[in-house]
Structure 1
Amino acid sequence: MKSITVQSLANAFQLEVLAGSGHTDRSIARSKVHRPGLEFVGYFDFFPMERVQVLGRKEITYLLTLTVEERVLHIRNIVHYHPPCFIVTADQQDIPYLTLFCEEEGIPLLRTKESTTEFIAKLDRYLTKELAPEISIHGVCLNVAGIGILLRGKSGIGKSETAHTLIRRGHRLVADDIVVLKKLGPATLLGTHNETSREFLALRSIGLINVVRQYGRTAFQDESRIVLDIELTSWQDRALNNELEVEQKYSDYLGVKVPYIEIQLQPGRDVGGLIEAAANSWYLKQLGYSAAEEFMNRIDNGMQP
């Protein structure tokens, strides 16, 4: 199971460490955060102790309504469960007992100035991406007119050169050579780079180029949802038929099915244009449009007396 450290989380959100500074190497392995409201009133059934615990104004205000003895009891009880860390939002200050017990138990206590709702939304998104199951594959990832595309093929087939053509047409590079795929949900696959190759595109006979330096900031983006898997293959005579509508095939990555298209290469063939057409065709299908269906309707209407 993937995990990140509390220190990584603190760095990402510039969190202030109030207690447990010597234990920020503790691991976080669950993506959803928890607000321990019920636990502060003594109900611990189903308590997700392995999640980051976020304390907003509701939780802190409730604790301040208790007597000192009750406050000490409730805070000590929840800290004893040893969650990865506690995060106090909205820059709240009235938390001396929470600070004390977190220090005693070696649990990091952090604080942010952000409001509870906004911070939880950002933190959930961050943890979902960081802890998502992932694999690395050989290929190129592009965003073509807002459509995330995985471009695959044997080494030397022309993936990077095709990507370069698309970038010059105004589309964006996400990753070249090594594409990191992250599963964010049952039907959501995110493509990104491995940091080392960020913004770089390797072109045979030319070498590495930095697409941002060469073509501007709009030539690159960090990530894109993958909705098409396109494989470049060598040309084979009579292997492809000019059908009205090609039967849809799928690739499977981490249990996520992605529509698959094969494009065969031949000198003079506009592969970049075909990829643009595939992206636009996918988008229109999401809107419920089928060119083949419209074509057949025209034929049927034309045959009517």
Structure 2
Amino acid sequence: MKAITVQDVVNKFSLKVLAGEKHLQRKVTKTRVHRPGLEFVGYFDFFPTERVQTLGKKEVTYLHKLSKEERKTRIGNIVHYHPPCFIVTAEEDGLTYLTRHCIEEKIPLLITQQPESTSEFISKLESYLSNVLAPEISIHGVCVNVSGIGILLRGKSGVGKSETAHTLILRGHRLVADDVVVLKKISPQTILGTHDEKTKEFLALRSIGLLNVVRLYGRKSFQDETPISLDILLTKWEKDALNNELDHEPQFVEYMGVSIPTLEIQVQPGRDVAELIEAAVHNWILKKQGYSAAEEFMRRIEGNVE
């Protein structure tokens, strides 16, 4: 199971540590965040103890209104389960009782320093956790974003994946990763493509060498990650290897149990593969919108026959 530490969360969101400075290496393994409610009145049947616990203005105001003994009992019941940490998004004033409980139980107590609502913070935190804790694999290929659509280019070494990516960049599209593409499963239906940090912004071209696309073409030529919508296999040209039907049966490839539409494009000198990829992307977008050129063509043919 993948995990990060509470210290990672502190660093990411510039949180202030109120208690538990020596226990920031505690593990965070869950992508969802919990906001205690029923637990304050003693109902713990479904308490997600392994999640980060977040307290907003609503929860803190409720605790402030309790008597000293009631607070001791209700907070004590929660800290007894030792969640990874507590994060408060309300003001720090009056939290001495919560600080004391966290010190006693060796649980980090953190507080946000940016003015934002609890729901906004939770949304950003869960997005971050979903990304860093997502199951992942690394594959050989190139990842690009073409017209807002994430594309995974695969093929044998030397087939022209990086050269094709370079042409796409010159046409205003963006590089995500070259050579090593990290795929993350961030939901049952979504695969995210990104780089492995070491190769970030780099593109390797045969005979030319290593290029930093951001230095050469500006920030618009690169993005950190993109949801993968289409998988394209580049292969060397073989006469009659691919049929030329009006429309092909949809083909799919699976990554960590998620099916991605895939197609094959043959490469040969003089063939504008980047242009074909643009056409494939725009055609995919039209199909997602419910339009099929092949179906319209057949309707026209049938209309003439009748």
TM-score higher than 0.5 here? yes
1:116-162 Cα offsets, whole Å, 9 max, x none, are 11101111111111111111111000000111000011111111011
Residue in 2 aligned with 1:275?
A: 277
Does residue 209 of structure 1 match 2:215? no
Mapped to 2, the partners of 1:100 and 1:301 lie a distance apart of 80
Equivalences, count: 304
- Report the CA distance between 1:90 and its aligned residue: 2.9
Residue in 2 aligned with 1:93?
A: 93
Mapped to 2, the partners of 1:156 and 1:195 lie a distance apart of 23
Q: Within 5 A, what are the aligned runs for 1:128-277?
A: 128-277=130-279
TM-score by length of 1: 0.98
- Report the CA distance between 1:264 and its aligned residue: 1.1
Mapped to 2, the partners of 1:91 and 1:247 lie a distance apart of 58
- Report the CA distance between 1:91 and its aligned residue: 3.0
Mapped to 2, the partners of 1:189 and 1:90 lie a distance apart of 35
CA RMSD of aligned residues (A): 0.9
Mapped to 2, the partners of 1:94 and 1:112 lie a distance apart of 15
TM-score by length of 2: 0.98
Does residue 75 of structure 1 match 2:75? yes
Gaps of 5+ in 1: none
Residue in 2 aligned with 1:6?
A: 6
- Report the CA distance between 1:235 and its aligned residue: 1.4
Residue in 2 aligned with 1:39?
A: 39
Residue in 2 aligned with 1:122?
A: 124
Runs ≥4 residues deviating over 3 A = none
Are the aligned partners of 2:55 and 2:90 in contact in 1 as well (CA < 8 Å)?
A: no
1:281-304 Cα offsets, whole Å, 9 max, x none, are 110000000000011111111222
Q: Which amino acid aligns with 1:209?
A: L
- Report the CA distance between 1:252 and its aligned residue: 0.2
1:70-121 Cα offsets, whole Å, 9 max, x none, are 1111111111110000000033422111101111111110001432111011
1:162-191 Cα offsets, whole Å, 9 max, x none, are 100110011000000111111111111110
Mapped to 1, the partners of 2:190 and 2:205 lie a distance apart of 30
Mapped to 2, the partners of 1:271 and 1:202 lie a distance apart of 18
1:244-270 Cα offsets, whole Å, 9 max, x none, are 001111000010000011111111111
Identity of aligned residues (%): 67
Q: Which amino acid aligns with 1:130?
A: V
Mapped to 2, the partners of 1:92 and 1:59 lie a distance apart of 13
Mapped to 1, the partners of 2:91 and 2:128 lie a distance apart of 20
Q: Which amino acid aligns with 1:56?
A: G
Mapped to 2, the partners of 1:194 and 1:26 lie a distance apart of 25
SS in 2 for 1:280: helix
- Report the CA distance between 1:234 and its aligned residue: 1.4
Gaps of 5+ in 2: none
Mapped to 1, the partners of 2:272 and 2:304 lie a distance apart of 33
Residue in 2 aligned with 1:57?
A: 57
Q: Which amino acid aligns with 1:60?
A: V
